Amino acid sequence: MLMCDMRTKDSTPRLILWLCLGFLILGIEFVQCGVTYDRKALLINGQRRILFSGSIHYPRSTPDMWEGLIQKAKDGGIDVIETYVFWNLHEPSPGKYDFDGRNDLVRFVKTIHKAGLYAHLRIGPYVCAEWNFGGFPVWLKYVPGISFRTDNEPFKRAMQGFTERIVELMKSENLYESQGGPIILSQIENEYGRQGQLLGAEGHNYMTWAAKMAIATETGVPWVMCKEDDAPDPVINTCNGFYCDSFAPNKPYKPTIWTEAWSGWFTEFGGPIHHRPVQDLAFAVARFIQKGGSFVNYYMYHGGTNFGRTAGGPFVTTSYDYDAPIDEYGLIRQPKYGHLKELHKAIKMCEKALVSTDPVVTSLGSNQQAHVYTSESGDCSAFLANYDTESAAKLLFNNVHYNVPPWSISILPDCRNAVFNTAKVGVQTSQMEMLPTKTANFKWQSYLEDLSSLDDSSTFTTQGLLEQINVTRDTSDYLWYMTRENRRFTYRGKINLHSGTNKIALLSVAVGLPNVGGHFESWNTGILGPVALHGLSQGKLDLTWQKWTYQVGLKGEAMNLAYPTNTPSIGWMDASLTVQKPQPLTWHKTYFDAPEGDEPLALDMEGMGKGQIWVNGESIGRYWTVIANGDCDHCSYTGTYKQNKCLSGCGQPTQRYYHVPRSWLKSSQNLLVIFEELGGNPSSVSLVKRSVSGVCAEVSEYHPNIKNWQLESYGKGETFHRPKVHLKCSNGQAISAIKFASFGTPLGKCGSYQQGECHADTSYDILEKMCVGKARCVVTISNSNFGKDPCPNVFKRLTVEAVCSPETNLRP
């Protein structure tokens, strides 16, 4: 075995997790070393790296999407793809494993490797992730004597078995970096710190055991624990949150890693959509890097979709978009994607200085600082920060003045030229819309879920009310509770009772199992009581301890109505007979042909209430058109971000559109099945496509420009490269019109721009000439380009809003 030098240039000792292999090819000796770390950064093959990572969870998209998502991440400056490993997907019953389809973890990791990126495998196996039951399989709840996430032998035995199963699977495919694969990090447990504190000694013992168990798997790469201040050596404790610039690892020889930089927030049915301004996200990342951070993972970089019944919460939506740089459908979200891409470029220009030394911090004002990195080899990089939430600052640094907007950081890779500012967004904003497809109107058939015809062989009766998960084992969202009561009382009310025996049937509907906390074995759901009749002549009648009959699931589920090979015609009727007076608990089905094109597709569930959707037997997920409540009137990028700061969609359905992967479709005769719980009308349901309808851009005449610094650094002169506006529609589209254009001092925001006091009259003509009819265009921001200076000695910008249309619509 070849021994590697265990000291850095600055003689800093580092904790080593080496696996070094020497081998001979054609007489030339190559050295391949595994992943290690010191206080500055992870070292890959002995080299310190500043790494940007993005969370993409493989089951939240389809395998045909993976390559495109990973490539877009790479193009956006991402070095590492992070994913959880979902225990309940891979081991749905004890000892029975599933790694097919969306669960094909090996294929996903190999796709990462093929793209030339690294991987971070967060095995957990508790994942939280707004995922059903936190990723735990429900069968684990019924292991005798089990207690979750504590010093409990049955739980530890099961957790160790699954962890070792995943590690061995990765090893068998040579997927760890120590084997030449892409995996450079693994995580054990997940955000355990607070839970461990509540449990005291048992929590600490469990956490220590988990760390030792993980290390014993000998992966050849470091292990991390997020939000775990007590993580024992050699495990690295890491940070999760909206900001992590105040975080420091628990030992001075460990690197500073941000495992979850929250790019947005998840959505819950009944709530609005959360947005995190990219200016604030970029500011948070730059703050972390300037303080010595070296690894940032965006949670999420692509959120995707909670297909089937995988959403947790409860009440987490089927969409897991997360306001991520790549949206739920796999399309680039601008300006978030492009602005972060420029941030990554700027920081990578500083990498040599950042990993070589510690910063010298200098005050430049009451709320302003400079962090300066200067290496022994002469590399110098600086971060100029303005923490003021209201006022821009004119900062004097190295005898040069720099204008830094509020709540922002300017990055100077050479300690001279500002190539990027976190608050100055120079990339376009893409306006996304759901547009009609040419799919013919759906012709619906309906089937009423008939409670009176329940199969006695599928029911059982017992005394009192039972907890739902105990009965269903989470095989269905639905559980019927039924009892009978003789009418031996006088009742005044609106319910219809008849003489003799009355049947009372209650349907309990789960909307995802909780995903946060500990002691999952004690969690309950369903109708837990009391159940009583009030307003009777003799007072309240408690039915809690009556004999109740139970049936798991729906009759339509038992008949496999959602599957193409199991759609019996018995009981289906023309929906025109039912939509005039919609009934709850109704199945609806129709067939449709796949629309042309490659735009992502969705179902518009307008007019429906709540239920589930299947296409060709694949579960799209739960739908619910409940109206969102919240305050959507205020948003600013400045000031500390919290998830309720910037909201949209108030007064509208929380989720109206539901992703239909194109890979699930055939060219024709696709079966769409909907189970409607509340009584919605399917006549308004339609298939739509997601596309860019327009683009906006706003760039100042002195916008920071990376090219200027690059040319000067390579000794090619001091030529100033003027900033440019870049406009680009989606594939298959072109710019069909210029909706707004102004070089001067325009006002407003994308969708509602207005001319300011200064405006070049040629603005529209120039933009139309250079952009209309093209898929993309570039316009240089200069006075000469617009004929003359429209307002001398005034700081100007070019603002544009363009309309995107299919190229076929523009052909003569």
The Cα–Cα gap between 493 and 487 comes to: 14
The overall longest dimension of the chain from CA atoms, in Å, is 99
Strand pairing partners for 610? Answer: 624
The Cα–Cα gap between 407 and 422 comes to: 9
H helices within 503-560, ranges in order? 555-558
What residue ranges in 128-252 does DSSP mark as E strands? Answer: 183-188, 223-226, 236-241
Q: Of 354, 383, 291, which Cα lies nearest the Cα of 49?
A: 354
701 tagged catalytic: no
The Cα–Cα gap between 553 and 561 comes to: 13
Choice among 260, 557, 599, 676 that is catalytic: 260
Q: Of 282, 285, 573, 608, which Cα lies nearest the Cα of 447?
A: 573
Whether 129 contacts 240, CB under 8 Å = no
Structure tokens at 259: 């495992």
Whether 483 contacts 504, CB under 8 Å = yes
Instruction: Write out the H or E segment, with its range, that includes residue 670.
Output: strand 670-676
Cis status of the peptide bond prior to 234, with omega within 30 of 0: yes
Q: Of 70, 163, 64, 72, which Cα lies nearest the Cα of 121?
A: 163
Strand pairing partners for 33? Answer: 20
CA dihedral 527, 528, 530, 531 (to 10 degrees): 20
Contacts of 124 (CB under 8 A, 6+ apart): 84, 85, 87, 135, 187, 188, 189, 190
Choice among 191, 268, 351, 521 that is catalytic: 191
Q: Considering Cα of 672, then 678, then 682, then 684, what sign does the dihedral take? A: negative
Whether 707 contacts 780, CB under 8 Å = no
Structure tokens at 115: 């793209």
DSSP letters, 588-654, are EEEEEPPPSSSS-EEEE-TT--EEEEEETTEEEEEEE-PBP-S--S---SSS---TTSSEE-TTSBS
Instruction: Kindly state the DSSP code that residue 313 receives in the 8-state scheme.
Output: B
The Cα–Cα gap between 147 and 141 comes to: 8
The Cα–Cα gap between 279 and 389 comes to: 12
Q: Of 449, 481, 476, 489, which Cα lies nearest the Cα of 465?
A: 481
Contacts of 738 (CB under 8 A, 6+ apart): 764, 767, 768, 771, 772, 800, 801, 802, 803
- Backbone phi and psi for residue 377, each to the nearest 5 degrees, phi listed first: -80, 0
191 tagged catalytic: yes
Residues that are catalytic: 191, 260
